[in-house]
Chain A
Protein backbone atom coordinates (compact mmCIF):
# COMPACT_ATOMS: atom_id res chain seq x y z
CA UNK A 1 0.00 0.00 0.00
CA UNK A 2 0.92 3.57 -0.40
CA UNK A 3 3.32 3.30 -3.34
CA UNK A 4 2.91 5.90 -6.04
CA UNK A 5 3.08 3.72 -9.11
CA UNK A 6 4.97 4.71 -12.23
CA UNK A 7 2.48 4.59 -15.08
CA UNK A 8 5.03 5.24 -17.83
CA UNK A 9 5.49 2.47 -20.36
CA UNK A 10 8.03 1.90 -23.10
CA UNK A 11 7.23 0.18 -26.34
CA UNK A 12 10.71 -0.12 -27.73
CA UNK A 13 11.71 3.43 -28.67
CA UNK A 14 8.28 4.83 -27.90
CA UNK A 15 7.69 6.00 -24.33
CA UNK A 16 4.19 6.93 -23.21
CA UNK A 17 3.11 8.70 -19.99
CA UNK A 18 0.64 5.90 -19.28
CA UNK A 19 -0.52 2.73 -21.02
CA UNK A 20 -4.01 3.87 -22.08
CA UNK A 21 -4.49 5.05 -25.65
CA UNK A 22 -7.57 5.75 -27.70
CA UNK A 23 -7.75 3.47 -30.74
CA UNK A 24 -7.77 4.37 -34.43
CA UNK A 25 -11.24 5.40 -35.56
CA UNK A 26 -12.45 5.78 -32.01
CA UNK A 27 -11.34 9.34 -31.41
CA UNK A 28 -11.65 10.97 -34.81
CA UNK A 29 -8.57 12.99 -35.74
CA UNK A 30 -7.96 13.75 -32.06
CA UNK A 31 -9.64 17.11 -31.48
CA UNK A 32 -13.30 16.14 -31.69
CA UNK A 33 -13.57 15.27 -27.99
CA UNK A 34 -11.61 18.19 -26.57
CA UNK A 35 -14.64 19.91 -25.00
CA UNK A 36 -15.58 16.69 -23.18
CA UNK A 37 -12.26 15.03 -22.35
CA UNK A 38 -8.96 16.38 -21.00
CA UNK A 39 -7.06 14.91 -23.93
CA UNK A 40 -3.66 15.93 -22.53
CA UNK A 41 -4.03 13.15 -19.92
CA UNK A 42 -4.23 10.30 -22.45
CA UNK A 43 -1.39 7.84 -22.94
CA UNK A 44 -1.64 8.58 -26.65
CA UNK A 45 -4.14 9.45 -29.31
CA UNK A 46 -4.21 7.23 -32.37
CA UNK A 47 -5.76 9.09 -35.30
CA UNK A 48 -8.34 7.59 -37.60
CA UNK A 49 -6.52 5.86 -40.45
CA UNK A 50 -5.14 8.39 -42.91
CA UNK A 51 -4.84 7.76 -46.63
CA UNK A 52 -3.02 9.64 -49.38
CA UNK A 53 -6.13 11.18 -50.95
CA UNK A 54 -9.40 11.99 -49.22
CA UNK A 55 -11.69 8.95 -49.09
CA UNK A 56 -15.44 9.17 -49.05
CA UNK A 57 -16.03 5.82 -47.37
CA UNK A 58 -18.82 3.30 -47.84
CA UNK A 59 -22.51 4.01 -48.41
CA UNK A 60 -24.85 3.91 -45.41
CA UNK A 61 -25.99 2.05 -43.44
CA UNK A 62 -22.41 1.67 -42.24
CA UNK A 63 -23.00 0.66 -38.63
CA UNK A 64 -25.31 -1.64 -36.74
CA UNK A 65 -25.59 -2.50 -33.09
CA UNK A 66 -25.19 -6.20 -32.23
CA UNK A 67 -25.32 -8.00 -28.87
CA UNK A 68 -22.65 -6.32 -26.72
CA UNK A 69 -20.98 -4.99 -29.83
CA UNK A 70 -21.32 -3.33 -33.18
CA UNK A 71 -20.46 -3.91 -36.81
CA UNK A 72 -18.93 -1.11 -38.84
CA UNK A 73 -18.07 -0.63 -42.48
CA UNK A 74 -17.00 3.00 -42.50
CA UNK A 75 -14.63 2.33 -45.38
CA UNK A 76 -11.79 4.52 -44.11
CA UNK A 77 -13.58 7.83 -44.70
CA UNK A 78 -11.02 10.56 -44.06
CA UNK A 79 -9.92 13.90 -45.46
CA UNK A 80 -6.49 12.62 -46.46
CA UNK A 81 -3.09 12.90 -44.81
CA UNK A 82 -2.37 16.44 -46.07
CA UNK A 83 -5.52 17.86 -44.47
CA UNK A 84 -4.55 16.19 -41.20
CA UNK A 85 -1.01 17.54 -41.27
CA UNK A 86 -2.10 21.06 -42.20
CA UNK A 87 -5.32 21.59 -40.29
CA UNK A 88 -5.33 19.24 -37.31
CA UNK A 89 -1.79 18.40 -36.28
CA UNK A 90 -0.66 21.96 -35.42
CA UNK A 91 -3.54 22.28 -32.92
CA UNK A 92 -3.32 18.74 -31.65
CA UNK A 93 0.39 18.83 -30.81
CA UNK A 94 -0.13 21.88 -28.57
CA UNK A 95 -1.83 19.56 -26.05
CA UNK A 96 1.44 17.71 -25.50
CA UNK A 97 -0.21 14.31 -25.80
CA UNK A 98 1.67 11.68 -27.82
CA UNK A 99 0.12 11.48 -31.29
CA UNK A 100 0.22 8.24 -33.22
CA UNK A 101 -0.71 8.53 -36.88
CA UNK A 102 -2.57 5.50 -38.18
CA UNK A 103 -2.02 5.02 -41.89
CA UNK A 104 -3.74 2.94 -44.53
CA UNK A 105 -3.50 2.35 -48.24
CA UNK A 106 -4.56 0.22 -51.13
CA UNK A 107 -1.04 -0.26 -52.44
CA UNK A 108 2.39 -0.54 -50.85
CA UNK A 109 3.30 2.76 -52.53
CA UNK A 110 0.35 4.52 -50.90
CA UNK A 111 1.48 3.34 -47.46
CA UNK A 112 5.04 4.52 -47.99
CA UNK A 113 3.95 7.84 -49.48
CA UNK A 114 1.71 8.58 -46.48
CA UNK A 115 4.40 7.43 -44.04
CA UNK A 116 7.04 9.69 -45.57
CA UNK A 117 4.72 12.72 -45.37
CA UNK A 118 4.17 12.01 -41.68
CA UNK A 119 7.88 11.46 -41.17
CA UNK A 120 8.55 15.02 -42.38
CA UNK A 121 5.90 16.54 -40.10
CA UNK A 122 6.67 17.74 -36.62
CA UNK A 123 5.05 16.35 -33.51
CA UNK A 124 4.09 12.79 -34.39
CA UNK A 125 5.29 10.19 -31.87
CA UNK A 126 4.83 7.06 -33.94
CA UNK A 127 3.19 5.55 -37.00
CA UNK A 128 0.64 2.75 -36.72
CA UNK A 129 0.13 0.62 -39.83
CA UNK A 130 -3.45 -0.49 -40.36
CA UNK A 131 -3.09 -3.73 -42.29
CA UNK A 132 -6.83 -4.47 -42.43
CA UNK A 133 -7.08 -2.72 -45.77
CA UNK A 134 -8.12 -4.12 -49.10
CA UNK A 135 -5.10 -4.60 -51.35
CA UNK A 136 -5.81 -3.40 -54.87
CA UNK A 137 -3.20 -5.61 -56.47
CA UNK A 138 -4.70 -8.69 -54.84
CA UNK A 139 -8.36 -8.15 -55.63
CA UNK A 140 -9.14 -6.53 -52.30
CA UNK A 141 -7.57 -9.14 -50.04
CA UNK A 142 -6.33 -7.59 -46.82
CA UNK A 143 -2.61 -6.82 -46.54
CA UNK A 144 -2.43 -8.28 -43.07
CA UNK A 145 -3.74 -11.69 -44.02
CA UNK A 146 -0.53 -13.14 -45.38
CA UNK A 147 3.00 -13.12 -44.00
CA UNK A 148 4.84 -12.23 -47.24
CA UNK A 149 2.52 -9.33 -48.00
CA UNK A 150 2.78 -8.10 -44.41
CA UNK A 151 6.57 -8.24 -44.56
CA UNK A 152 6.55 -6.39 -47.88
CA UNK A 153 4.48 -3.44 -46.67
CA UNK A 154 6.16 -3.26 -43.25
CA UNK A 155 9.68 -3.17 -44.66
CA UNK A 156 8.68 -0.59 -47.27
CA UNK A 157 7.23 1.69 -44.60
CA UNK A 158 10.26 1.00 -42.40
CA UNK A 159 12.38 2.57 -45.17
CA UNK A 160 10.04 5.57 -45.41
CA UNK A 161 10.17 6.72 -41.79
CA UNK A 162 12.47 6.74 -38.81
CA UNK A 163 9.54 7.09 -36.40
CA UNK A 164 8.69 4.16 -34.13
CA UNK A 165 6.54 1.77 -36.15
CA UNK A 166 3.55 -0.04 -34.70
CA UNK A 167 1.94 -2.71 -36.86
CA UNK A 168 -1.73 -3.34 -36.20
CA UNK A 169 -2.72 -6.89 -36.98
CA UNK A 170 -5.91 -8.08 -38.57
CA UNK A 171 -7.54 -11.05 -36.84
CA UNK A 172 -8.57 -12.34 -40.25
CA UNK A 173 -5.14 -13.86 -40.73
CA UNK A 174 -5.15 -17.65 -40.60
CA UNK A 175 -2.12 -17.73 -38.34
CA UNK A 176 -1.67 -14.51 -36.43
CA UNK A 177 1.58 -15.64 -34.85
CA UNK A 178 3.35 -16.04 -38.19
CA UNK A 179 2.07 -12.63 -39.36
CA UNK A 180 3.28 -11.12 -36.08
CA UNK A 181 6.71 -12.67 -36.51
CA UNK A 182 6.90 -11.46 -40.12
CA UNK A 183 6.01 -7.90 -39.07
CA UNK A 184 8.71 -7.86 -36.38
CA UNK A 185 11.26 -9.37 -38.74
CA UNK A 186 10.45 -6.61 -41.26
CA UNK A 187 11.09 -3.85 -38.75
CA UNK A 188 8.03 -3.30 -36.53
CA UNK A 189 8.91 -1.80 -33.14
CA UNK A 190 5.65 -2.93 -31.58
CA UNK A 191 2.49 -4.80 -32.51
CA UNK A 192 -1.08 -3.77 -31.90
CA UNK A 193 -3.79 -6.40 -31.84
CA UNK A 194 -6.45 -6.66 -32.89
CA UNK A 195 -8.53 -4.89 -35.48
CA UNK A 196 -12.21 -5.79 -35.90
CA UNK A 197 -13.47 -9.29 -36.72
CA UNK A 198 -15.54 -9.78 -39.89
CA UNK A 199 -19.25 -10.28 -39.35
CA UNK A 200 -22.69 -9.82 -40.85
CA UNK A 201 -26.08 -8.83 -39.46
CA UNK A 202 -29.40 -9.67 -41.08
CA UNK A 203 -32.79 -8.04 -40.85
CA UNK A 204 -35.14 -11.04 -41.13
CA UNK A 205 -38.28 -8.96 -41.46
CA UNK A 206 -36.94 -7.01 -44.42
CA UNK A 207 -34.85 -9.98 -45.63
CA UNK A 208 -31.83 -7.76 -46.07
CA UNK A 209 -28.31 -7.37 -44.79
CA UNK A 210 -28.21 -4.57 -42.25
CA UNK A 211 -25.02 -3.03 -43.72
CA UNK A 212 -24.85 -1.69 -47.26
CA UNK A 213 -21.55 -3.53 -47.73
CA UNK A 214 -23.05 -6.69 -46.18
CA UNK A 215 -19.83 -7.48 -44.24
CA UNK A 216 -18.53 -5.26 -41.45
CA UNK A 217 -16.03 -5.40 -38.60
CA UNK A 218 -17.19 -6.51 -35.16
CA UNK A 219 -15.96 -4.56 -32.13
CA UNK A 220 -16.97 -3.91 -28.53
CA UNK A 221 -17.27 -6.05 -25.40
CA UNK A 222 -18.37 -9.08 -27.45
CA UNK A 223 -14.87 -9.52 -28.93
CA UNK A 224 -12.84 -9.19 -25.72
CA UNK A 225 -12.26 -12.91 -25.02
CA UNK A 226 -11.12 -13.61 -28.59
CA UNK A 227 -8.96 -10.49 -28.77
CA UNK A 228 -7.35 -11.41 -25.43
CA UNK A 229 -6.74 -14.94 -26.67
CA UNK A 230 -4.87 -13.62 -29.73
CA UNK A 231 -2.83 -11.21 -27.64
CA UNK A 232 -1.85 -13.92 -25.18
CA UNK A 233 -0.86 -16.35 -27.95
CA UNK A 234 1.31 -13.79 -29.70
CA UNK A 235 2.88 -12.81 -26.36
CA UNK A 236 3.77 -16.44 -25.67
CA UNK A 237 5.29 -16.87 -29.10
CA UNK A 238 7.15 -13.53 -29.12
CA UNK A 239 7.70 -12.64 -25.45
CA UNK A 240 10.23 -9.88 -26.24
CA UNK A 241 7.96 -7.91 -28.57
CA UNK A 242 6.04 -4.92 -27.14
CA UNK A 243 2.32 -5.55 -27.58
CA UNK A 244 -0.68 -3.24 -27.48
CA UNK A 245 -3.95 -4.94 -26.58
CA UNK A 246 -7.18 -3.73 -28.12
CA UNK A 247 -10.66 -5.18 -28.27
CA UNK A 248 -13.68 -4.76 -26.05
CA UNK A 249 -12.15 -2.69 -23.26
CA UNK A 250 -14.82 -0.87 -21.30
CA UNK A 251 -13.35 -0.68 -17.79
CA UNK A 252 -10.03 -0.48 -15.93
CA UNK A 253 -10.44 -4.15 -15.10
CA UNK A 254 -10.60 -5.05 -18.81
CA UNK A 255 -7.39 -3.09 -19.39
CA UNK A 256 -5.65 -4.76 -16.44
CA UNK A 257 -6.59 -8.17 -17.86
CA UNK A 258 -4.72 -7.31 -21.07
CA UNK A 259 -1.68 -6.21 -19.08
CA UNK A 260 -1.76 -9.43 -17.07
CA UNK A 261 -1.86 -11.37 -20.34
CA UNK A 262 1.32 -9.60 -21.45
CA UNK A 263 0.27 -6.31 -23.06
CA UNK A 264 2.57 -3.30 -22.58
CA UNK A 265 -0.29 -0.93 -23.29
CA UNK A 266 -3.91 -0.92 -24.38
CA UNK A 267 -6.23 0.94 -26.71
CA UNK A 268 -9.88 1.74 -26.23
CA UNK A 269 -12.11 1.78 -29.30
CA UNK A 270 -15.89 1.42 -29.34
CA UNK A 271 -16.34 2.21 -25.64
CA UNK A 272 -15.26 5.82 -26.28
CA UNK A 273 -18.44 6.37 -28.26
CA UNK A 274 -20.60 5.39 -25.35
CA UNK A 275 -18.47 6.78 -22.55
CA UNK A 276 -16.21 9.61 -23.75
CA UNK A 277 -14.27 9.99 -20.50
CA UNK A 278 -13.66 6.25 -20.10
CA UNK A 279 -9.95 6.38 -20.98
CA UNK A 280 -9.30 8.82 -18.11
CA UNK A 281 -11.20 6.57 -15.71
CA UNK A 282 -9.20 3.55 -16.89
CA UNK A 283 -5.93 5.41 -16.23
CA UNK A 284 -7.12 6.24 -12.72
CA UNK A 285 -8.32 2.66 -12.17
CA UNK A 286 -4.95 1.22 -13.20
CA UNK A 287 -3.16 3.64 -10.87
CA UNK A 288 -5.40 2.61 -7.98
CA UNK A 289 -5.00 -1.11 -8.67
CA UNK A 290 -1.20 -0.89 -8.82
CA UNK A 291 -1.08 1.11 -5.65
CA UNK A 292 -3.47 -1.16 -3.74
CA UNK A 293 -1.67 -4.31 -4.81
CA UNK A 294 1.81 -2.97 -4.16
CA UNK A 295 3.05 -2.82 -7.76
CA UNK A 296 5.35 0.14 -8.36
CA UNK A 297 4.93 0.15 -12.14
CA UNK A 298 2.83 -1.16 -15.00
CA UNK A 299 5.85 -3.15 -16.08
CA UNK A 300 5.87 -4.97 -12.72
CA UNK A 301 2.33 -6.17 -13.32
CA UNK A 302 2.76 -7.12 -16.94
CA UNK A 303 2.35 -10.84 -17.53
CA UNK A 304 2.00 -11.43 -13.78
CA UNK A 305 -0.72 -14.04 -14.13
CA UNK A 306 -0.54 -16.81 -11.56
CA UNK A 307 -0.30 -20.20 -13.20
CA UNK A 308 -2.63 -22.23 -11.03
Chain B
Protein backbone atom coordinates (compact mmCIF):
# COMPACT_ATOMS: atom_id res chain seq x y z
CA UNK B 1 0.00 0.00 0.00
CA UNK B 2 1.33 3.41 -0.97
CA UNK B 3 2.22 5.78 1.87
CA UNK B 4 2.72 9.49 1.44
CA UNK B 5 4.95 12.00 3.23
CA UNK B 6 3.30 15.40 2.78
CA UNK B 7 3.30 18.89 4.23
CA UNK B 8 -0.37 18.95 5.25
CA UNK B 9 -2.02 22.35 5.53
CA UNK B 10 -3.90 23.19 8.74
CA UNK B 11 -7.50 24.01 7.81
CA UNK B 12 -8.99 24.30 11.27
CA UNK B 13 -8.66 23.39 14.94
CA UNK B 14 -12.27 22.66 15.85
CA UNK B 15 -12.92 22.71 19.59
CA UNK B 16 -14.90 19.62 20.55
CA UNK B 17 -14.64 19.64 24.35
CA UNK B 18 -12.56 21.48 26.93
CA UNK B 19 -8.96 21.08 25.75
CA UNK B 20 -9.98 18.70 22.95
CA UNK B 21 -9.81 19.50 19.29
CA UNK B 22 -10.46 18.04 15.88
CA UNK B 23 -7.57 19.04 13.65
CA UNK B 24 -8.57 19.27 10.00
CA UNK B 25 -5.70 18.89 7.55
CA UNK B 26 -5.57 19.33 3.80
CA UNK B 27 -3.56 16.45 2.30
CA UNK B 28 -5.32 14.98 -0.74
CA UNK B 29 -3.22 11.82 -1.19
CA UNK B 30 -3.87 10.77 2.41
CA UNK B 31 -7.52 11.86 2.44
CA UNK B 32 -8.18 9.90 -0.75
CA UNK B 33 -6.64 6.62 0.30
CA UNK B 34 -7.16 6.36 4.07
CA UNK B 35 -9.23 3.46 5.41
CA UNK B 36 -10.95 3.27 8.81
CA UNK B 37 -8.48 2.15 11.48
CA UNK B 38 -5.46 3.58 9.70
CA UNK B 39 -3.38 6.35 11.17
CA UNK B 40 -0.93 9.13 10.31
CA UNK B 41 2.37 10.12 11.93
CA UNK B 42 2.38 13.86 12.59
CA UNK B 43 5.21 16.29 13.25
CA UNK B 44 4.20 19.89 13.98
CA UNK B 45 7.79 21.23 14.06
CA UNK B 46 11.26 19.73 13.48
CA UNK B 47 12.15 19.69 17.19
CA UNK B 48 14.70 17.48 18.97
CA UNK B 49 12.48 17.36 22.05
CA UNK B 50 9.90 16.05 21.49
CA UNK B 51 11.80 13.86 19.05
CA UNK B 52 9.35 11.28 17.73
CA UNK B 53 6.41 11.92 15.47
CA UNK B 54 3.14 10.87 17.08
CA UNK B 55 0.54 8.50 15.66
CA UNK B 56 -3.03 9.75 15.26
CA UNK B 57 -5.94 7.63 14.10
CA UNK B 58 -7.88 9.13 11.26
CA UNK B 59 -11.25 10.38 12.51
CA UNK B 60 -12.75 11.47 9.21
CA UNK B 61 -11.65 11.72 5.61
CA UNK B 62 -13.25 13.56 2.75
CA UNK B 63 -11.69 12.43 -0.53
CA UNK B 64 -13.52 15.09 -2.57
CA UNK B 65 -12.25 17.99 -0.51
CA UNK B 66 -8.86 16.35 0.06
CA UNK B 67 -9.10 16.81 3.82
CA UNK B 68 -8.88 14.45 6.77
CA UNK B 69 -9.00 15.03 10.47
CA UNK B 70 -7.58 13.70 13.72
CA UNK B 71 -8.58 14.22 17.30
CA UNK B 72 -6.18 15.50 19.95
CA UNK B 73 -6.31 16.69 23.53
CA UNK B 74 -3.78 19.24 24.67
CA UNK B 75 -1.51 17.71 27.29
CA UNK B 76 2.26 18.07 27.09
CA UNK B 77 4.66 19.79 24.74
CA UNK B 78 3.84 17.86 21.58
CA UNK B 79 0.13 18.54 21.59
CA UNK B 80 0.75 22.12 22.67
CA UNK B 81 2.96 22.63 19.60
CA UNK B 82 0.27 21.02 17.48
CA UNK B 83 -2.45 23.26 18.94
CA UNK B 84 -0.37 26.36 18.19
CA UNK B 85 -0.07 25.66 14.46
CA UNK B 86 -1.86 28.54 12.72
CA UNK B 87 -4.43 27.97 10.02
CA UNK B 88 -2.63 27.83 6.68
CA UNK B 89 0.63 26.57 8.20
CA UNK B 90 1.83 23.02 7.55
CA UNK B 91 2.38 19.89 9.60
CA UNK B 92 4.48 16.99 8.30
CA UNK B 93 2.15 14.04 7.87
CA UNK B 94 3.10 10.49 6.90
CA UNK B 95 0.30 8.16 5.96
CA UNK B 96 -2.04 6.46 5.63
CA UNK B 97 -0.38 3.78 7.75
CA UNK B 98 -1.17 0.34 9.09
CA UNK B 99 -4.01 -2.13 8.75
CA UNK B 100 -7.71 -1.27 8.84
CA UNK B 101 -11.03 -2.63 10.08
CA UNK B 102 -12.69 -5.12 7.76
CA UNK B 103 -16.46 -5.22 8.13
CA UNK B 104 -17.78 -8.74 8.77
CA UNK B 105 -20.44 -9.09 6.09
CA UNK B 106 -22.21 -12.01 7.74
CA UNK B 107 -23.00 -10.02 10.90
CA UNK B 108 -26.44 -8.54 11.46
CA UNK B 109 -25.18 -6.24 14.16
CA UNK B 110 -21.89 -4.31 14.10
CA UNK B 111 -20.86 -3.34 17.61
CA UNK B 112 -18.21 -0.62 17.79
CA UNK B 113 -16.65 -0.44 21.26
CA UNK B 114 -14.60 2.59 22.30
CA UNK B 115 -12.77 3.20 25.56
CA UNK B 116 -10.91 6.33 26.63
CA UNK B 117 -9.48 7.99 23.54
CA UNK B 118 -10.41 5.08 21.26
CA UNK B 119 -13.42 6.63 19.52
CA UNK B 120 -11.82 8.37 16.48
CA UNK B 121 -11.06 5.33 14.27
CA UNK B 122 -14.49 3.92 15.10
CA UNK B 123 -16.19 7.17 14.05
CA UNK B 124 -14.43 6.81 10.69
CA UNK B 125 -15.48 3.15 10.48
CA UNK B 126 -19.10 4.02 11.30
CA UNK B 127 -19.20 6.78 8.69
CA UNK B 128 -17.98 4.37 5.99
CA UNK B 129 -20.01 1.40 7.20
CA UNK B 130 -23.42 3.03 7.75
CA UNK B 131 -24.23 3.74 4.07
CA UNK B 132 -23.39 0.14 3.12
CA UNK B 133 -25.66 -1.59 5.64
CA UNK B 134 -28.53 -3.82 4.51
CA UNK B 135 -31.99 -3.10 6.02
CA UNK B 136 -31.56 -5.95 8.53
CA UNK B 137 -28.09 -4.82 9.68
CA UNK B 138 -27.70 -2.63 12.76
CA UNK B 139 -24.94 -0.36 14.02
CA UNK B 140 -24.23 -0.17 17.75
CA UNK B 141 -21.82 2.12 19.55
CA UNK B 142 -20.67 1.39 23.07
CA UNK B 143 -18.44 4.03 24.59
CA UNK B 144 -16.75 4.31 27.96
CA UNK B 145 -14.85 7.19 29.48
CA UNK B 146 -13.79 8.38 32.90
CA UNK B 147 -16.19 11.36 32.86
CA UNK B 148 -19.02 12.55 30.65
CA UNK B 149 -17.00 15.48 29.22
CA UNK B 150 -14.45 13.00 27.81
CA UNK B 151 -17.00 11.17 25.65
CA UNK B 152 -16.28 11.48 21.94
CA UNK B 153 -18.43 10.57 18.96
CA UNK B 154 -21.84 10.13 20.64
CA UNK B 155 -23.60 12.71 18.46
CA UNK B 156 -21.99 11.39 15.28
CA UNK B 157 -23.16 7.87 15.94
CA UNK B 158 -26.68 9.03 16.81
CA UNK B 159 -26.77 10.96 13.53
CA UNK B 160 -25.87 7.75 11.71
CA UNK B 161 -28.82 6.02 13.34
CA UNK B 162 -26.72 3.87 15.67
CA UNK B 163 -27.89 2.45 18.98
CA UNK B 164 -25.64 4.30 21.45
CA UNK B 165 -24.85 3.10 24.97
CA UNK B 166 -22.64 5.03 27.34
CA UNK B 167 -20.60 4.08 30.40
CA UNK B 168 -18.66 6.45 32.66
CA UNK B 169 -16.41 5.54 35.58
CA UNK B 170 -18.03 8.18 37.81
CA UNK B 171 -21.59 7.64 36.56
CA UNK B 172 -21.82 11.24 35.34
CA UNK B 173 -23.57 9.94 32.23
CA UNK B 174 -25.08 6.59 31.30
CA UNK B 175 -24.16 3.37 33.06
CA UNK B 176 -21.70 3.69 35.98
CA UNK B 177 -18.97 1.19 35.24
CA UNK B 178 -16.98 -0.22 32.38
CA UNK B 179 -17.87 -0.26 28.71
CA UNK B 180 -16.97 -3.96 28.71
CA UNK B 181 -20.01 -4.55 30.98
CA UNK B 182 -22.15 -2.94 28.29
CA UNK B 183 -20.64 -5.30 25.75
CA UNK B 184 -21.44 -8.34 27.93
CA UNK B 185 -25.07 -7.16 28.14
CA UNK B 186 -25.31 -6.44 24.43
CA UNK B 187 -24.05 -9.90 23.55
CA UNK B 188 -26.80 -11.50 25.66
CA UNK B 189 -29.09 -10.80 22.71
CA UNK B 190 -28.83 -13.66 20.24
CA UNK B 191 -28.10 -11.63 17.10
CA UNK B 192 -25.13 -12.60 14.88
CA UNK B 193 -22.71 -9.83 15.79
CA UNK B 194 -19.24 -8.57 15.00
CA UNK B 195 -17.17 -6.40 17.32
CA UNK B 196 -14.69 -3.67 16.41
CA UNK B 197 -12.86 -2.14 19.37
CA UNK B 198 -10.33 0.55 20.13
CA UNK B 199 -9.15 1.75 23.52
CA UNK B 200 -6.61 1.06 26.25
CA UNK B 201 -4.99 -2.37 26.05
CA UNK B 202 -6.54 -3.68 29.34
CA UNK B 203 -9.98 -2.92 27.90
CA UNK B 204 -9.12 -4.66 24.62
CA UNK B 205 -7.99 -7.68 26.56
CA UNK B 206 -11.42 -7.94 28.24
CA UNK B 207 -13.26 -7.27 24.96
CA UNK B 208 -11.25 -10.04 23.30
CA UNK B 209 -12.05 -12.52 26.07
CA UNK B 210 -15.76 -11.69 26.09
CA UNK B 211 -15.95 -12.15 22.31
CA UNK B 212 -13.96 -15.36 22.35
CA UNK B 213 -16.24 -16.86 25.01
CA UNK B 214 -19.24 -16.19 22.82
CA UNK B 215 -17.64 -16.98 19.49
CA UNK B 216 -18.14 -13.44 18.20
CA UNK B 217 -15.63 -12.24 15.58
CA UNK B 218 -13.66 -9.33 16.96
CA UNK B 219 -11.13 -6.88 15.57
CA UNK B 220 -9.11 -4.67 17.90
CA UNK B 221 -6.92 -1.64 17.32
CA UNK B 222 -3.99 -1.88 19.74
CA UNK B 223 -1.84 0.79 21.27
CA UNK B 224 1.97 0.69 21.30
CA UNK B 225 4.80 3.22 21.45
CA UNK B 226 5.71 4.11 17.86
CA UNK B 227 9.08 5.69 17.07
CA UNK B 228 8.68 5.33 13.28
CA UNK B 229 5.14 4.20 12.46
CA UNK B 230 6.32 2.68 9.19
CA UNK B 231 7.59 -0.75 10.11
CA UNK B 232 11.34 -0.25 10.42
CA UNK B 233 12.28 0.11 14.07
CA UNK B 234 10.41 -2.89 15.57
CA UNK B 235 9.67 -0.79 18.64
CA UNK B 236 5.91 -1.33 18.49
CA UNK B 237 6.02 -5.08 19.11
CA UNK B 238 2.78 -6.95 19.78
CA UNK B 239 2.94 -10.63 20.72
CA UNK B 240 0.86 -12.79 18.40
CA UNK B 241 0.12 -16.46 17.87
CA UNK B 242 1.17 -17.60 14.39
CA UNK B 243 -1.22 -19.68 12.28
CA UNK B 244 1.51 -22.28 11.75
CA UNK B 245 2.04 -22.49 15.54
CA UNK B 246 4.41 -20.65 17.81
CA UNK B 247 4.52 -17.00 18.76
CA UNK B 248 6.24 -13.95 17.30
CA UNK B 249 6.29 -10.19 17.68
CA UNK B 250 4.38 -8.34 14.99
CA UNK B 251 4.42 -4.58 14.41
CA UNK B 252 1.49 -2.52 15.68
CA UNK B 253 2.27 0.01 12.95
CA UNK B 254 2.47 -2.36 9.98
CA UNK B 255 0.60 -5.67 10.50
CA UNK B 256 -1.50 -3.65 13.01
CA UNK B 257 -2.85 -1.50 14.54
CA UNK B 258 -5.97 -3.56 13.74
CA UNK B 259 -5.56 -7.24 14.59
CA UNK B 260 -7.99 -10.12 14.81
CA UNK B 261 -8.56 -10.40 18.55
CA UNK B 262 -7.69 -14.10 18.68
CA UNK B 263 -4.23 -13.40 17.23
CA UNK B 264 -3.01 -11.18 20.05
CA UNK B 265 -1.42 -12.73 23.13
CA UNK B 266 -1.82 -10.66 26.28
CA UNK B 267 0.68 -10.94 29.12
Contact = CB atoms under 8 A, between A and B. Distances in A.
Contacts of A25: 233
Range class of the B interface residue count: 20 to 34
Contacts of B237: 57, 59-60, 62, 77
B235 interface: yes
Contact of B224 (A60, A67, A72): A60
A36 B227 contact: no
Range class of the A interface residue count: 35 or more
A273 B226 CA distance: 9
A57 B51 contact: no
B31 interface: no
Given A59-B267, A63-B225, A27 B232 contact: yes
The majority secondary structure among interface residues of chain A is: loop
B239 interface: yes
The majority secondary structure among interface residues of chain B is: loop
Nearest to A48: B234
Contact of A220 (B51, B235, B267): B51
A68 B235 contact: no
A53 interface: no
Contacts of B236: 60, 63
B137 to A, nearest CB: 36
Interface in A161-186: none
Contact of B3 (A36, A57, A221, A270): A36
The 8 A-B pairs of least Cβ separation, nearest first, read A63-B235, A273-B228, A68-B48, A28-B232, A221-B48, A60-B237, A68-B49, A273-B227
Interface of A: 25-28, 32-33, 35-36, 48, 56-57, 59-65, 67-70, 72, 74, 77, 220-222, 250, 270, 272-277
Interface of B: 2-3, 5, 43, 46, 48-53, 94, 224-225, 227-228, 230-239, 247-249, 267
